[in-house]
């Protein structure tokens, strides 16, 4: 164990073998990247980017988090008064929640004329205070090859205690922080992340949806792009500039740092740096794992999601009220539907299986030549066994995530399982009553975005996929029997179950909770099927899933430890895991395929070329069209006289980086990252330097929409504009 620890501590020795544009780097590695970055055009020092003792760039990067503090996007502070930018699709849920049929700001856009008009948004943001290497604390007395179940328990116990201890160490300020201890390199290294969490966030402005989502799903993941994918919010704090719950007396947050905005433009080969919170990558996936994802897991996710999306679209296209109601659900589901579809196609085409197999063969040879078999040989058999089991059992969790979890009545059913347990225990009748009363308070919110014709069709879709696609031996007997009873007429089956269920309307649920009974629950077949499916996964199949996870966890850790030991002078970027990372590269065009080459930027000409009046994806406000035709660009025109809309860099990003700042060599904001390109859509599994591009919104188009189109030029007074 000590030898491995030494290798990991020294894994930042050399960057000479590394492509400068590959990797999502933890901030504690920035010192070792400084020379390479400066050779590319960075004018800042590593301390200007990350330093816990002085204001620096990391202090202007915000982590968007749910009210439960789950990360979902990135943003950047652009003024001394806590104003920050993120993507339109990141602010989409908050904007939708603030929209009504009478005041549909999602469709029409919104700009607060003053701070008093800013609207409360339902999410938090985290500001990274510092990163601490806690590997020695986590792995003390834990060896690399100890029994896996014992190791997993020991690591979990230490992680829980260490997080609590680190938070307690913050003293009186502890309630303002979230402390996360996060594994890197498959659990060979651990870092503690300290986030100060601000809870009073307010919407300042958003363009209309047909600007912020121009191009819709057709353009999603594609280049060239012309969408103004941005929204603006403000952080509020108490009188001491500390986090506080929403209060009218709170003041705009005074940041330690905010990004100056450069509107001078950019050129090919210019340095570009992105800081943000990439979610998850799987760059070290075993070769048989690549096969599983390409041939089975991703295609099945695509199929289930597409069928649910078809139901949504049928009703959303017919009624603006339903479109608003389901807009956020549709956006979230469709974004990853297209990503998974691209991955299913791209993984075989990019020969990732062959590349990974070659790397594994090289590692096998090194293990043999260096007599490391006692430590590392088992990793290959563990992988083989785990993926053989995944082939047989892996889809049950997929169909829960992409099937059951997309049926609202089934989700409601799962939320009642604890109440059923209380009702069955006569000694806990008071607890059951309190639980029912608490649930009663949530009904308005629960059924706020709920439309019967959609939900009954989605239920039929989910029941069909569960029954037709999965082995009946591992399905609830009740579901199998009903399928036979209805002769696989899932529409009729869903309609009749839906009509009889107390889960399918606020009124029926209210009546049930007023006098709940376990007997009534177990007569409701939606409740029975949903909970029986969950029980199959969590009880009957739990030993299998635990065995698979244990094998994969051990194999991943051994593989990455062996990799680091085999090539100890190479700097490996750990997989993304929701923590702040930095990636650097250049403004670059690319060759997509034979005879297809793309420029590195788009202009407003493309908006006019794509504009289709009344189209659900390519419509645009008449005011914008007229301004673009008149070339009324003001100070936001490029030196070529055009209004640039979006641009490309070769930065290495993934989901979670949405909304991340794109920064030039002087630390000035030049754009906001919002997407990757189709040709490199499988980048979570492997980086291709020739193809991978980050698609970003040009900051000049952002300011043009805010100022000249939206009439919110007064916000420029808060910003530092570099002309």
Q: Are strands 189-198 and 177-184 parallel, antiparallel or unpaired?
A: antiparallel
89 is catalytic: yes
pLDDT over 80 at 220, yes or no: yes
CB 230 within 8 A of CB 88: yes
Give the whole-angstrom CA distance, residue 318 versus residue 323.
8
Positive/negative CA dihedral, 101, 103, 108, 109:
negative
Residue 9, pLDDT > 80, answer no
Average pLDDT over residues 662-681: 98
Confidence of residue 4 (pLDDT cuts 50, 70, 90): very low
Which residue, 334, 317, 316, is CA-closest to 325?
A: 316
Mean pLDDT on 496-517: 97
Asked about 229 being catalytic, the answer comes back as: yes
Of all helices (H) and strands (E), which one includes residue 18? none
- Tell which wins on pLDDT, 202 or 148: 202
When pLDDT is cut at 50, 70 and 90, the band that residue 21 belongs to is: low
For each of the domains in the chain, give its residue range(s) and CATH number, in order of start. Answer: 1-282+573-723 (2.40.10.120), 395-540 (no CATH)
Pairing of strands 721-722, 261-262: parallel
Catalytic residue among 21, 48, 219, 229: 229
Residue 6 has pLDDT above 60, yes or no: no
- Among candidate residues 231, 658, 660, 696, the one labeled active-site is 658
Residue 11 has pLDDT above 70, yes or no: no
pLDDT at 14: 36
91-114 average pLDDT score: 97
User: Which of 305, 301, 307 is CA-nearest to residue 461?
Assistant: 307
The structure tokens 């974004």 sit at 335
What are 618-629's pLDDT values in tens digits?
999 999 999 999
**Cα(723)–Cα(720) distance, rounded to whole angstroms?**
10
Confidence of residue 22 (pLDDT cuts 50, 70, 90): confident
The mean pLDDT value of the chain amounts to 95
Average pLDDT of the residues in 177-195: 97
Q: At 133, phi and psi to the nearest 5? A: -80, 115
Of 88, 89, 465, 644, the active-site residue reads: 89
What integer pLDDT is reported at residue 76 of this predicted model? 98
Q: What is the pTM of this model?
A: 0.93
Q: Does residue 82 carry a pLDDT above 50?
A: yes
Cβ atoms of 674 and 229 within 8 Å: the answer is yes
Mean pLDDT, residues 379-399: 96
Give the pLDDT confidence score for residue 573 in this predicted structure: 93
């Amino acid at each position: 164990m000590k030898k491995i620890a030494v290798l990991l501590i020294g894994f930042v020795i050399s960057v000479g073998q590394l492509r400068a544009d590959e990797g999502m780097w933890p901030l504690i590695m920035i010192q070792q990247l400084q020379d390479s970055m400066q050779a590319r055009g960075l004018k800042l020092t590593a301390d200007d980017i990350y330093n816990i003792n002085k204001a620096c760039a990391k202090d202007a990067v915000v982590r968007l988090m749910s009210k439960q503090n789950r990360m979902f996007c990135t943003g950047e502070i652009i003024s001394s008064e806590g104003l920050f930018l993120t993507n339109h699709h990141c602010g989409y849920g908050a904007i939708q929640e603030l929209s009504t049929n009478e005041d549909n700001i999602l469709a029409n856009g919104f700009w607060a004329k003053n701070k008093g008009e800013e609207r409360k948004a339902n999410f938090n943001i985290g500001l990274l205070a510092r990163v601490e290497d806690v590997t020695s604390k986590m792995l003390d007395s834990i060896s690399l090859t100890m029994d896996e179940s014992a190791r997993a328990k020991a690591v979990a116990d230490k992680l829980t205690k260490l997080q609590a201890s680190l938070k307690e160490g913050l003293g009186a300020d502890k309630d303002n922080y979230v402390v996360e201890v996060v594994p890197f390199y498959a659990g060979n290294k651990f870092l503690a992340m300290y986030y100060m969490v601000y809870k009073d966030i307010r919407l300042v402005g958003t363009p209309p949806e047909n600007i912020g989502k121009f191009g819709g799903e057709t353009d999603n993941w594609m280049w060239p792009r012309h969408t103004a994918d941005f929204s603006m919010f403000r952080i509020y704090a108490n009188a001491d500039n500390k986090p506080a719950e929403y209060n009218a007396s709170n003041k705009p947050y005074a940041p330690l740092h905010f990004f100056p905005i450069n509107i001078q433009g950019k050129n090919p080969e210019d340095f570009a740096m992105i800081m943000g919170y990439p979610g998850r990558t799987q760059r070290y996936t075993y070769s048989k794992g690549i096969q599983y994802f390409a041939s089975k897991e991703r295609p099945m996710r695509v199929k289930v999601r597409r069928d649910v999306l078809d139901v949504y679209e049928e009703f959303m296209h017919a009624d603006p009220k339903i479109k608003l109601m389901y807009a956020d659900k549709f956006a979230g589901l469709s974004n990853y539907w297209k990503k998974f579809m691209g991955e299913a196609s791209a993984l075989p085409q990019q020969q990732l299986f062959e590349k990974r197999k070659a790397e594994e063969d090289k590692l096998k040879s090194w293990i043999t030549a260096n007599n490391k078999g006692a430590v590392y040989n088992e990793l290959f058999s563990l992988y083989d066994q785990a993926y053989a089991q995944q082939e047989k059992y892996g889809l049950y969790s997929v169909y829960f995530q992409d099937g059951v979890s997309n049926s609202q009545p089934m989700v409601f059913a799962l939320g009642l399982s604890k109440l059923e347990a209380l009702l069955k225990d006569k000694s806990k009748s008071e607890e059951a009553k309190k639980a029912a009363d608490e649930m009663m308070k949530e009904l308005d919110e629960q059924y706020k975005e709920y439309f019967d014709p959609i939900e009954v069709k989605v239920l039929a879709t989910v029941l069909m996929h569960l029954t037709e696609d999965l082995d009946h031996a591992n399905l609830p007997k009740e579901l199998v029997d009903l399928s036979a009873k209805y002769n696989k007429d899932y529409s009729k089956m869903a309609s009749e179950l839906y009509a009889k269920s107390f889960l399918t309307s606020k009124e029926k649920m209210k009546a049930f909770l007023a006098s709940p009974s376990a007997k009534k629950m177990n007569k409701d077949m939606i409740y029975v099927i949903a909970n029986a499916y969950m029980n199959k996964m969590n009880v009957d199949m739990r030993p299998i899933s635990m065995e698979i996870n244990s094998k994969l966890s051990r194999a991943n850790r051994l593989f990455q430890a062996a990799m680091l030991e085999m090539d100890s002078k190479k700097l490996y970027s750990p997989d993304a895991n929701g923590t702040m990372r930095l990636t650097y590269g250049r403004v670059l065009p690319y060759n997509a395929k034979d005879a297809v080459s793309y420029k590195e930027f788009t202009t407003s000409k493309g908006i006019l070329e794509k504009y289709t009046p009344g189209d659900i994806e390519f419509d645009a406000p008449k005011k914008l069209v007229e301004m673009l035709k008149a070339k009324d660009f003001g100070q936001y025109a490029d030196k070529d006289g055009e209004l640039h809309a979006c641009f490309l860099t070769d930065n290495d990003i993934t989901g979670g980086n949405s909304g991340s700042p794109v920064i030039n060599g002087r630390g000035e904001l030049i754009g906001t990252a919002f997407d990757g390109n189709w040709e490199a859509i499988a980048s979570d599994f492997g980086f291709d330097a020739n193809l991978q591009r980050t698609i970003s919104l040009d900051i000049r188009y952002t300011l043009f929409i805010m100022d000249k189109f939206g009439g919110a030029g007064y916000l420029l007074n808060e910003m530092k504009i570099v002309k």
